[in-house]
Structure 1
Amino acid sequence: MHFGSIFVETLFGFFMLFIVAKILGKTQIKQLTAFDFISALILGELVGNALYDNEVGVSDIAFAVLLWGGLLYLTEQITQKFKGTRALLEGKPSIVIHKGKLQWKEMKKAKLDINQLLHLLRSKDAFSIREVDYAILETDGTVSVMKKTNYQMPNRHDFNLAPENVTLPFMLINDGEIIWDSLYEIGKDEEWLKEELQKQEINNFQEVFYAEYEKDKNLFVQGY
């Protein structure tokens, strides 16, 4: 009887969640907003916990899933009809790079540090911030990138040009702190870094939000 009850409740819960997901028109997992992600967890927990609680029956599962699904449906309808509620319920994109400059205030609001941003940029084939004109942090946590014209297609192959050596950029300063491992990796020391900053009229490391080194290029520096 115990296994039979679990079998029936599992099937019922599966079909209930399937129906609710179809009605709500959920997006793909990688496109879920934070609110959608939490909702998915709650729906799963409602069914999962009910399966192993002998005092909870099919009717209880149905009520909980339908209630939560109804609330989600109501939320979707509100955001569709009242545009002003979308920023509150769904969030809104944040411009984290604007005309090639890091927007550190927007990054702080989004709880996004420089390492996370660099990871997101690399996933868009942008290995250096200097390649990026605009970067927008979307509500689902991904980043949309518009590269500067010099780094956009067409590429060198389109013009039958010989390939060039590829160099990897290194982050040397992050939020006012020197990244010593990167500095040693490029074979430079603190004095060299100070001289490079002074060339750009910066006398203190703490004035620098982000600094990046790439071979045969000037030090890229972004202040606060």
Structure 2
Amino acid sequence: MKIMYLTLELIIGFFSLFIIVKFVGKKIISQITPFTFIAAIVLGELLGNALYDHKIGVFYIVYSMAIWGGLLFTVEYLSQKFLSFRGAVEGKPSALIKNGMIDREELRKNRMNINQLQSLLRQSETFSIREVAYCYLEANGSLSILKKTKFQKTTQEDFNFPSKAVFVPVTIIRDGEVLWDEIMELGFDESWLQSQLKKQNITDYKKVFLAEWLQGDGLFVQPITN
């Protein structure tokens, strides 16, 4: 008897979930926003807990999923109708890099630091901030990157260029702190660093937000502007 009852609950739960997803839309699967991410988790928990709690009957499974699905549908409908409501629920992308410069205030607003930004850029196959013209943090936590013209993708085969050695950019100053271990690994010293910074009219390490060395391209520096 328990097997038959569990089978009935599974079938009803399956079709209830199918109907909700069809009505609410594909956004709940792709989890475009933090809201849809949480909504998908809660929906799965509602169904899972209801199926394996013997005190909850089929009616309560259908009822709880119908209420949750109705709320999701209402939120999605209001988001389509009202722009202000959509902004409150879905949020807006944040421009972390503008015209090649990191916006420190936007980093603070999104509770991010330079290490996390660099990590996300590397995951997007961008190993140097100097390559980036614009970078947006989307509502779902992913990065959208527009590279500077000279770094946009082309293939060497298109121009019959000979192959060149590839070097990884190395961060040597971050948030005004010099990463001496990285400098030593590069084979440089403090006098070299000072001379490099003087070329860009910088005399104090603490005034540097980010400094990055790339073999063959030199030192990229973004000073602290405020």
Tell me the TM-score normalized by structure 1: 0.90
Which letter does structure 2 place at the counterpart of 1:62? V
Distance 1:64 1:189, change over 3 A: farther
- For residues 47-73 of structure 1, give each alpha carbon's deviation from its aligned partner in whole angstroms, at most 9, with x where no partner exists: 111122222111111111111111111
- SS of residue paired to 1:219: strand
Q: Is residue 55 from structure 1 mapped to residue 55 from structure 2 by the alignment?
A: yes
Q: Distance in 1 between matches of 2:29 and 2:218?
A: 41
Residue number in structure 2 paired with 1:5: 5
State the distance in 1 between where 2:185 and 2:46 align: 51
Is 73-82 or 177-186 further displaced after alignment? 177-186
Label 1:31 to 1:148 Cα distance change in 2 as closer, same or farther (>3 A).
farther
Where does residue 192 of structure 1 map in the other structure? 192
State which drifts further: 155-164 or 173-182.
173-182
2:147 corresponds to? 147
Matches within 5 A, 1:203-218: 203-218=203-218
TM-score (normalised: structure 2): 0.89
Deviation at residue 78 of structure 1 after TM alignment: 0.9
SS at match of 2:211: strand
Contact 1:96 1:135 (8 Å CA) reproduced: yes
| Superposed displacement of residue 190, structure 1 | 3.9
Distance 1:20 1:88 in 2: 23
Q: Is the 8 A contact 2:213 2:220 kept in 1?
A: yes
Pairwise CA RMSD: 2.0
Which residue number in structure 1 is paired with residue 108 of structure 2? Answer: 108
Change (3 A) 1:168 1:50: same
What is the Cα deviation at residue 30 of structure 1? 4.9
How far did residue 21 of structure 1 move?
0.7
Deviation string, structure 1 residues 52-101 (Cα, Å, up to 9, x no partner): 22221111111111111111111111111111222210011111111111
* Range that drifts further, 74-83 or 111-120: 111-120
Specify the code of the residue in structure 2 equivalent to 1:214: L
Q: Aligned partner of 2:11: which letter? A: L
> What code does the residue aligned with 1:14 have?
F
Change (3 A) 1:57 1:149: same
Q: CA deviation at 1:148?
A: 0.9
Counterparts of 2:184 and 2:89, CA distance in 1: 46
Q: For structure 2, which runs of at least 5 residues remain unmatched after alignment?
A: none
Q: Which amino acid aligns with 1:16?
A: S
| 4+ residue runs over 4 A deviation | 28-31
Cα distance between partner residues in 1 of 2:131 and 2:152: 9
Counterpart amino acid of residue 102 in structure 2: L
The AA in structure 2 aligned to 1:138 is: E
**Match of 2:218, SS?**
coil
CA distance in 1, matches of 2:79, 2:9: 33
Match of 1:75 in 2: 75
Distance in 1, Cα, partners of 2:191 & 2:57: 71
**Aligned mates of 1:180, 1:40 — CA distance in 2:** 46
Residues 97, 132 of structure 1: 8 Å contact kept: yes
Is 2:28–2:36's contact at 8 Å kept on the other side of the alignment?
Answer: no
Classify the secondary structure of the residue corresponding to 2:172: strand
Q: Which moved more, 1:19-28 or 1:60-69?
A: 19-28
- Distance of aligned partners of 1:28 and 1:196 in 2 relative to their CA distance in 1, 3 Å threshold: farther
1:97 aligns with 2:89: no
